[in-house]
C-alpha cells in the first residue's frame, strides 16, 4: 500500500509553525508496517491544493491530508476533495445538532458550514474541536482528511484511521529494527558494518545522525513477520557484535528515558551542578514522568559567585584553574552530591559560545565530572557547532556518563 | 520567483526526526519576500528522489534540497542532481586537502568521496561538517543542495544562499508585520480585530497559536516597500490600539530574548527556584548568548528535601500548605533572591502530571512568585494539556511575570 501525506497551510510554508504532523503520522504508520512514501506541503490556495491532491491520488492508494478543514475562507480541503471524488456537499443534521449543543445561541452561519459534509464520505467526529474529518473512497483510491490542530487530529487518527488501516493492511509487511548508539560517528558505523550489511539479502539499513547520537535502522519488507525476522537476524547479529555497549536502546526511547530507567532499577539518586548547559540536563531528566524517584535537584550555577558561595567551589580553584577546568568540574560534582545527599553528583562546565572563548579555552571546550563518594571521574570534550548544539551535545555526553557509570555498577 | 523545498531522508518520512528545515528555510525566505510555494519530503531512494527533483525543477525556478549529501550509500542527492543538470563528478583537490587536515591519517576512502563534486556546480564550503553543499545552474533553472544536519545547513544557508537570493530577487515584494502576544486567546483576537482587518484593502492576516502565546501576522504583496507600508499601516494601528502591552515583540524574537534584553537594559539580575519546570526556565533564559549579564543561576529544587535543606523553605510551610502552594512559591522566590544576592527572585512550583494530581490540587495547578526584596507577587494558574505543555506553558507565564514586573519598573 502506497501512502502519501499532504500537509496544508500557509503557516507551514512560511515557517510560522514547525510541521510535526510528518513525524507523528509517519512514525505511527511505520509502526504498523505502512511507511509514508512521500509528503507534500502546500499553501492555502485552491488551485495549488487541487493540483497537489490530484497528483498524490494518481501516484498512491491513500492520501492523508492535514489542515484546511476550518470554517474560514482559506479552508478549502473539503470542497477540493469533494470535487476530486465527484461528490456534493450536503448538510448533516446530526452535526447541526452537535454544533447547536456546543455553541448554543451564538452559533454563527460561518461555524454552521462545518455541518456541510461530502455526501459519499465517511464522517470522522471531532471530539475536541468543531471541524469533522472525512474518509473519501472511490474505486481503489482513498483520501483521509484531518484537521490541522494536533490535539484535534491525534484522537481522530488514533481512534478511527489507524485501526482501520491496520485491519485492512494487505501485501508485504514493513519490519524494522532500531539501534540507537551514543558516542560513535556516522562514518565509523558505515566503515565498520556497511559492507557486511550490504551483503545481506533482502535487508536494507539507514543511519540517522543526531547530536552525539547515531541511530542505525535495519529494515525489510516481507510477506510474514517470521520471514522478516529471518531476514533481519544476521544484520542484528552484526550490529550487536560490533557496537554492543554503544547501543543504548533497541527502540525509540530517548537517552534520558533509558538512563532514568537505569537509575530507578539501580535505586540510585542523582543531583546536578550545571554551568554552561544552564538547566538543560535537569530539564531533560525531568521531562520523564516519575523522575522524582531518582532526581533530587540541580544547581544551575551560571555565575562564579554561585559556584563559590552556593556550591562551595573553592576560590583558589576558580582563580588558579578557572571556572572551565577539570578541577572546577570535580569540585562541582563532589559538592552537589554532598549537599543534596544523593548517590551520584554530576557536573558540567564549559564554554557554549559564541563569545567567551580564548586560544587556551576555545568555544566548545566542556569539562564534566561524576562523583559517587568514593571516586570522581572527569572527562574533557571539544564540541563543535553553535551554542545550541554545543549545549545539547554536552547534555548528551553528560547523561551518557551516568549510563557508563551504571553499566559498570551493574 | 517560484521556490520549492525538497527535504530528503527516510528518517523524516518514518517519523524518526521532526522536520525543522521547512520552518527554518520557509521563514528565512519569507523574510526576504520569497515565500516557499511547495515542499516535498522523499525517501533515500534514488528513483523516487530523481522523480521528485525532476518534477520540482519543472514547476519552479529554484529547488532547495536538504539531506542526502553524506558519504554513505543511501546519500544520492549529489549524483542525482548531477544527472539532472548534466554534469559529471570530479575530485576537488582543495576539498581533499581540507579533509586530510581534519581527519589526518584516519581519512577513509568513504569520507574521501566527499571531495568528488559536480564539475559545473558552485561549491558551498561546510565549516562544521565534511559534506560540502552545491549550487547547480542551467538555463533558468537552479538547485541548491544543502546537508541535512541543521548546524551544518544553517551557516551555509545564511552566509551564502540567502544573500545571493536577496540580491537577485525581482517581482512583487511579500511584506509582513509580526505581533507576538502573550496571555491573549486566539478567538479573542479574532473577535476583537478580525472584522476590522478583513475590511482593509490589500491586507491579509493570520494567527498562529503557541502555548500561552498567539502571533498575529499582517501581510501583503506589493511592487514597492512604500506601497506595502501604506497597505499595512491601518492594520498596524488597529492591532496596536487593541492589544498594546500584550504585544511583547514586533519581530520574530522569543519571549526569553525580549525579557533578557529588558533585564539587561534595566540592569537587573535574576535567580530562579524551579520545581515542576525542572530547569526549563533556566534553560530558556540561558539559550540566549550574553545571559550571564543578568542570570545568576537557579535552584532546581525537585524534591521537598531540596526545597527545605538547600533553599530554606520552612518545614512548617511544606507540611501545612504543601510543596504546591502559594506560600511555598513565595518562600522559594524570596529565599533564592536572598541566597543569590540578585535583584529578582522567581519561583515556580506545580503539578506537571500525568500523575500526582488530587481533587484539591489537580494536574496543571501551578503557583509562581516574584520577589524583589520589597514585595513578593504570587500568581496561580490552572494549565491544561500534557506534561510537556503544562511545563512549557508554566515557563511562558513565569518569564512573562518578569516582563510584567519590568514594565511597571520602567
Per residue in A257-315, pLDDT (tens digit) is 999 999 999 999 999 999 999 999 999 999 999 999 999 999 999 999 999 999 999 99
Query: Which pLDDT band, with edges at 50, 70 and 90, does A410 fall under?
Result: low
Q: Do A23 and B12 touch (CB under 8 A)?
A: yes
Judge whether A310 is closer than 8 Å to chain B, CB to CB.
yes
Output the average pLDDT for chain A: 93
Residue A74 CB: number of other CB atoms within 10 A? 15
Can you give the pLDDT at residue B6? 98
Judge whether B40 is closer than 8 Å to chain A, CB to CB.
yes
Question: Once rounded to an integer, what is the mean pLDDT over residues B147-158?
Answer: 93
Does residue A386 sit in the same domain as residue A300? Answer: yes
Does residue A231 sit in the same domain as residue A261? Answer: no
How distant is the Cα of B8 from the closest Cα of chain A, in angstroms? Answer: 10
Does residue B155 sit in the same domain as residue B195? Answer: no
Q: Which residues contact B193 (CB under 8 A, 6 or more apart)?
A: B216, B238, B239, B242, B243
Does residue A8 sit in the same domain as residue A152? Answer: yes
Quote the CA–CA distance of B329 and A7 in Å, as a whole number.
Answer: 43
Q: Do B306 and A340 touch (CB under 8 A)?
A: yes
Question: Which residues in chain A have their CB less than 8 angstroms from residue B391's CB?
Answer: 287
CB within 8 Å of chain A, chain B residues 335-364: 339-341, 352-355
CB-closest option in B24, B154, B298 to A279 = B298
Query: Which pLDDT band, with edges at 50, 70 and 90, does B196 fall under?
Result: very high
Can you give the pLDDT at residue B410? 58
Question: Once rounded to an integer, what is the mean pLDDT over residues B255-271?
Answer: 97
CB within 8 Å of chain A, chain B residues 264-293: 271-272, 274, 277-283, 285-287, 289-292
Can you give the pLDDT at residue B32? 86
Per-residue pLDDT reduced to its tens digit, B290-336 = 999 999 999 999 999 999 999 999 999 999 999 999 999 999 999 99
**pLDDT for residue B8 is more than 70:** yes
Residue A120: what are its φ and ψ, rounded to 5°? -90, 0
Question: Once rounded to an integer, what is the mean pLDDT over residues B167-185?
Answer: 86
Does residue B64 sit in the same domain as residue B157? Answer: yes
Quote the CA–CA distance of A101 and A80 in Å, as a whole number.
Answer: 29
Does residue B148 sit in the same domain as residue B179? Answer: no
Number of domains into which chain B is organized:
3
Sheet holding A204-210, edge to edge: A204-210, A213-222, A173-182, A247-249
Does residue A283 sit in the same domain as residue A402? Answer: yes
Does residue B216 sit in the same domain as residue B161? Answer: no
CA distances from A331 to A208, A273, A278, A342, B146 (A): 36, 10, 18, 15, 43
Does residue A146 sit in the same domain as residue A243? Answer: no
**Max CA pair span of chain B:** 78
Q: Which residue of B has its CA nearest to A338?
A: B310
Per-residue pLDDT reduced to its tens digit, A236-252 = 999 999 999 999 999 98
Quote the CA–CA distance of A374 and A361 in Å, as a whole number.
Answer: 29
Per-residue pLDDT reduced to its tens digit, A104-146 = 777 777 788 889 999 999 999 988 777 899 999 999 999 999 9
As a whole number of Å, the end-to-end CA separation of chain A is: 45
Q: Do A386 and B151 touch (CB under 8 A)?
A: yes
Q: Which residue of A has its CA nearest to B25?
A: A15
Residue where one domain finishes, among candidates B168, B194, B222: B168
What cell does A407 get?
553499566
**pLDDT for residue A98 is more than 70:** yes
Higher pLDDT among residues B22 and B209, named by residue: B22
CB-closest option in A17, A211, A296 to B306 = A296
* Residue with grid cell 501485501, as numbered in its chain: A171
Residue where one domain finishes, among candidates A147, A168, A189: A168
Can you give the pLDDT at residue B112? 87
DSSP secondary structure letters along A228-280: HHHHHHHHHHHHHHHHGGGEEESSS--HHHHHHHHHHHTT--EEEEESTTTTH
Output the average pLDDT for chain B: 93
Taking one residue from A and the other from B, the number of pairs with CB-CB distance under 8 angstroms is 276
CB within 8 Å of chain B, chain A residues 94-123: none
Whether omega for the bond prior to residue A399 falls within 30 degrees of 0, making it cis, is no
Q: Do B16 and A208 touch (CB under 8 A)?
A: yes
Can you give the pLDDT at residue A405? 97
CA distances from A280 to A286, B2, B52, B133, B333 (A): 10, 40, 39, 31, 21
Is A19 within 8 Å of B13 (Cβ atoms)? no
Q: Do A302 and B296 touch (CB under 8 A)?
A: yes
Does residue B287 sit in the same domain as residue B311? Answer: yes
Share of chain B above pLDDT 90, in %: 75
Can you give the pLDDT at residue A227? 95
Does residue A216 sit in the same domain as residue A329? Answer: no
Residue where one domain finishes, among candidates B225, B249, B273: B249
Quote the CA–CA distance of B14 and B36 in Å, as a whole number.
Answer: 24
Judge whether A306 is closer than 8 Å to chain B, CB to CB.
yes
CB-closest option in A194, A302, A387 to B73 = A194
Quote the CA–CA distance of A135 and A131 in Å, as a whole number.
Answer: 14
B5, B12, B16, best to mutate vs chain A, most A CBs in 10 Å? B16
Check which CATH number belongs to the domain holding A398 and give it: 3.90.950.20
Question: Once rounded to an integer, what is the mean pLDDT over residues B103-128?
Answer: 88
Higher pLDDT among residues B107 and A48, named by residue: A48
Question: Which residues in chain A have their CB less than 8 angstroms from residue B151's CB?
Answer: 211, 385-386, 388-389
Quote the CA–CA distance of B235 and B250 in Å, as a whole number.
Answer: 13
DSSP secondary structure letters along B290-328: TGGGTEEEEEEE-SHHIIIIIT---HHHHHHH-SSSHHH
- Range B323-344 burial, b when 16+ CB lie within 10 A, else e: bbbbbbbbbbbbbbbebbebbb
Per-residue pLDDT reduced to its tens digit, A191-209 = 899 999 999 999 999 888 8
Question: Which residues in chain A have their CB less than 8 angstroms from residue B45's CB?
Answer: none
Question: Which residues in chain A have their CB less than 8 angstroms from residue B297's CB?
Answer: 299-303, 306, 310
Per-residue pLDDT reduced to its tens digit, A63-84 = 999 999 987 767 899 999 999 9
B49, B277, B300, best to mutate vs chain A, most A CBs in 10 Å? B300
Is A377 within 8 Å of A404 (Cβ atoms)? no
Quote the CA–CA distance of B405 and B410 in Å, as a whole number.
Answer: 9
Can you give the pLDDT at residue B374? 96
Check which CATH number belongs to the domain holding B53 and give it: 3.40.980.10
Does residue B9 sit in the same domain as residue B110? Answer: yes
Please give the residue range of the domain that contains residue B160: 3-168
Q: Do B22 and A28 touch (CB under 8 A)?
A: no
Per-residue pLDDT reduced to its tens digit, B161-174 = 999 998 887 777 88
Amino acid at each position: 500500500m502506497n501512502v502519501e501525506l499532504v500537509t496544508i497551510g500557509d503557516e507551514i510554508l512560511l515557517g510560522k509553525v514547525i510541521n510535526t504532523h510528518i513525524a507523528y503520522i509517519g512514525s505511527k504508520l511505520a509502526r504498523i508496517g505502512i511507511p509514508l512514501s512521500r509528503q507534500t506541503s502546500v499553501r492555502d490556495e485552491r488551485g495549488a491544493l487541487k493540483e497537489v491532491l490530484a497528483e498524490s491520488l494518481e501516484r498512491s492508494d491513500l492520501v492523508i491530508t492535514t489542515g484546511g478543514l476550518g470554517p474560514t475562507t482559506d479552508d478549502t480541503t473539503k470542497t477540493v476533495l469533494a470535487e476530486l471524488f465527484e461528490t456534493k456537499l450536503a448538510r448533516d443534521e446530526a452535526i447541526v445538532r452537535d454544533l447547536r449543543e456546543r455553541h448554543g445561541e451564538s452559533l454563527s452561519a460561518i461555524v454552521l458550514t462545518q455541518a456541510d459534509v461530502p455526501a459519499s464520505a465517511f464522517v470522522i467526529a471531532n471530539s475536541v474541536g468543531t471541524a469533522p474529518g472525512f474518509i473519501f473512497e472511490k474505486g481503489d483510491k482513498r483520501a483521509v482528511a484531518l484537521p490541522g490542530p494536533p490535539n484535534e487530529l491525534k484522537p481522530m487518527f488514533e481512534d478511527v484511521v489507524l485501526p482501520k488501516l491496520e485491519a485492512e493492511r494487505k501485501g508485504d509487511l514493513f519490519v524494522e529494527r532500531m539501534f540507537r548508539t551514543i558516542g560513535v560517528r556516522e562514518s565509523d558505523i558505515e566503515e565498520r558494518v556497511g559492507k557486511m550489511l550490504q551483503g545481506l539479502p533482502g535487508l536494507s539499513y539507514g543511519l540517522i545522525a543526531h547530536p552525539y547520537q547515531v541511530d542505525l535502522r535495519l529494515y525489510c519488507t516481507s510477506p510474514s513477520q517470521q520471514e522478516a525476522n529471518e531476514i533481519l537476524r544476521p544484520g542484528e547479529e552484526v550490529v550487536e557484535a560490533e557496537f554492543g555497549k554503544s547501543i543504548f536502546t533497541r527502540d525509540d526511547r530517548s537517552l534520558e528515558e533509558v538512563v532514568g530507567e537505569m537509575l530507578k532499577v539501580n535505586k540510585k539518586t542523582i543531583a546536578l551542578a550545571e554551568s554552561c548547559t544552564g538547566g538543560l540536563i535537569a530539564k531533560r531528566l525531568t521531562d520523564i514522568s516519575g523522575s522524582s524517584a531518582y532526581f533530587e535537584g540541580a544547581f544551575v550555577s551560571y555565575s562564579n559567585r554561585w559556584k563559590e558561595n552556593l556550591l562551595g567551589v573553592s576560590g583558589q580553584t576558580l582563580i588558579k584553574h578557572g571556572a572551565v577546568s577539570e578541577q572546577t568540574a570535580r569540585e562541582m560534582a563532589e559538592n552537589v552530591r554532598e549537599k543534596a545527599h544523593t548517590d551520584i553528583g554530576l557536573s558540567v562546565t564549559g564554554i557554549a559560545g559564541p563569545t567567551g572563548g580564548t586560544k587556551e579555552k576555545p568555544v566548545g571546550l566542556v569539562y564534566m565530572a561524576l562523583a559517587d563518594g568514593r571516586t570522581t571521574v572527569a572527562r574533557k570534550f571539544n564540541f563543535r557547532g553553535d551554542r545550541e548544539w554545543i549545549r545539547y551535545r554536552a547534555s548528551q555526553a553528560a547523561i551518557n556518563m551516568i549510563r557508563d557509570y551504571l553499566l559498570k555498577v551493574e
